[in-house]
Amino acid sequence: MSIPLLGLGTFRLKDQVVIGSVSQALELGYRAIDTAQIYGNEAEVGSAVAASGIPRDQLFLTSKIWIENLSADKLIPSLKDSLNKLRSDYLDLTLIHWPSPKGAVAVSEFMSALAEARDQGLTRQIGVSNFTIDLLRQAIDVVGNDAIATNQIELHPYLQNRKLVEFMHSQGIAVTSYMTLGYGKVLQDPVIQAIAGQHNATPAQVTLAWAMQLGYAVIPSSTRRENLASNLKARELKLSDEDMAKIAALDSGLRLTSPESLAPAWD
């Protein structure tokens, strides 16, 4: 099963704000929604999805296991709690949100538990997030590369993570880019703006199209209907080889997310 190239992210959206975002997105045609246990909004996402009336089999729901729930005795119960909040019998994709800080819970323990959750039918696919090459190798040793649907990583024009992406491609693991717009920094880039002008597009559409053209899934969030609709149109934008090369040249290794208590030793 493939992962939709464009979905809706819900990071930092809470309460009625996330309900409004998800509801509008579903009305506009989004069918993939990304949330996480630590976001504290699974119940609200579930409420919006239920109210939409869209059949469950037409949706692609992703959530992520928080670090406090990585141990073998906690992972599956926490996932069942997430499903209860989301009002669903299963997730389409369940990710390990961050590797266990300082290896407190072994990769073999949480990946085995995640695979067991899949075998129980609680999730269709499994994957990871914020994993380095070394951590991916450890995960592959436990469940095999075929079992790891994706590694969700910070990836945008200023941080293109080529070494990690190359390894993932070699293992058949899909790339999911989060923070694709670089907290909005990328949208101010003159190169991106110039390309947008040439295509009569927005800088956000150009950036999302760039990632999707490389085969990466993207999960931008927005609370504004016009932006949600505009982002959706990025799927129709085709950038030239010259455009892609110009954006490739923007890579500066600028990492925007690296919490001291969570971050592994990045590649």
Distance between CA atoms of residues 182 and 96, nearest Å = 22
Distance between CA atoms of residues 71 and 134, nearest Å = 20
3-state secondary structure 40-71: CCHHHHHHHHHHHCCCHHHCEEEEEECHHHCC
Residue 39 annotated as catalytic? yes
169 annotated ligand binder: no
Residue in 39, 158, 178, 216 annotated catalytic: 39
Tally Cβ neighbours within 10 Å of residue 57. Answer: 7
Q: Six-digit token pair at 225?
A: 């209907």
Contact 205, 238 (CB under 8 A): no
Distance of CA 6 to the CA centre of its chain: 10
- The secondary structure element, H or E, covering residue 32 is strand 32-34
Binding-site positions for substrate read 97
Binding-site positions read 97
- Catalytic residues, by residue number, are 39
